[in-house]
Amino acid sequence: MKCHICNNETSIFTETYAGIVCHYCKNCQYIFKDPSCYQSIHAQKERYDLHTNDENDDGYRAYFQRFVDFVIPHVGSPKTALDFGCGRSTLLADILKNIGIDTDVYDPIYHPENRYDSKKYDLIVSTEVFEHLHQPKEVFKSLLACLNPNGFLAIQTQFHPEEEEAFQKWYYHRDPTHIVFFSPKTFRVLADIYRCDYLADNGKNMVIFQKR
């Protein structure tokens, strides 16, 4: 099967936790579960509804604050932002608003009425979203199109272990709604494809791009 990111041929292996076939691209290090296991939006919502994140919980707030603390030094003083795939919570948007960034939210399940594709933003953030996407390349392209010139796209998703044995032991792929997995190299290839600048990553789960 062809890689969804760079269109090179992939190899296959079976993840032992649930016996799901996975496809691995050696060229860009993208891993994706076989599309036959992808869930409908209704099935995904049933799982997301089980999440009990409390916006008043100090740990939950600190989780988003770590993301903001990594991103802001790289992006200067954006005036507008979009939290893409925010889920039920608007906590990240509230944190950004509290530091003076006018922030919209969009989520296809919980905030589908908030159209974003007719606007332009200085910053788009997306936390724990890309691992759920059936078509991450197309979404990446669409988000870049919603940025102002020199705008920034900041993504949080766990970078996968590059060794198959480590991947098999990795907790992240055991969530059935987590279907695609990236390394920094995958994101560098995406940046090259869409001619944006790869600004920084934290070596673990955060990466920032700038539109040219």
121: left (phi over 0), alpha (psi -120 to 50) or beta: beta
**In the chain, what are the domains?**
11-210 (3.40.50.150)
Reading the block at residue 182, the tokens are 């990236």
Average pLDDT of the residues in 17-38: 97
pLDDT of residue 44: 80
pLDDT of residue 78: 98
pLDDT over 90 percentage in the chain: 84
pLDDT of residue 128: 96
pTM: 0.95
Residue 20: closest CA among 32, 10, 31, 34: 34
Element (H or E) spanning 139, and its range? helix 136-145
- pLDDT tens for each residue of 93-105: 999 999 999 999 9
Distance, in Å, from the CA atom of 128 to the CA atom of 178, rounded to the nearest integer, reads 9
Mean pLDDT across the chain:
94
**154 — pLDDT class (breaks 50, 70, 90):** very high
- pLDDT tens for each residue of 64-78: 999 999 999 999 999
Element (H or E) spanning 64, and its range? helix 58-75
Residue 178: closest CA among 129, 117, 136: 129
- pLDDT tens for each residue of 108-141: 999 988 878 789 999 999 999 999 999 999 999 9
pLDDT of residue 51: 67
Contact present, 24 and 12 (Cβ < 8 Å) = yes
**52 — pLDDT class (breaks 50, 70, 90):** low
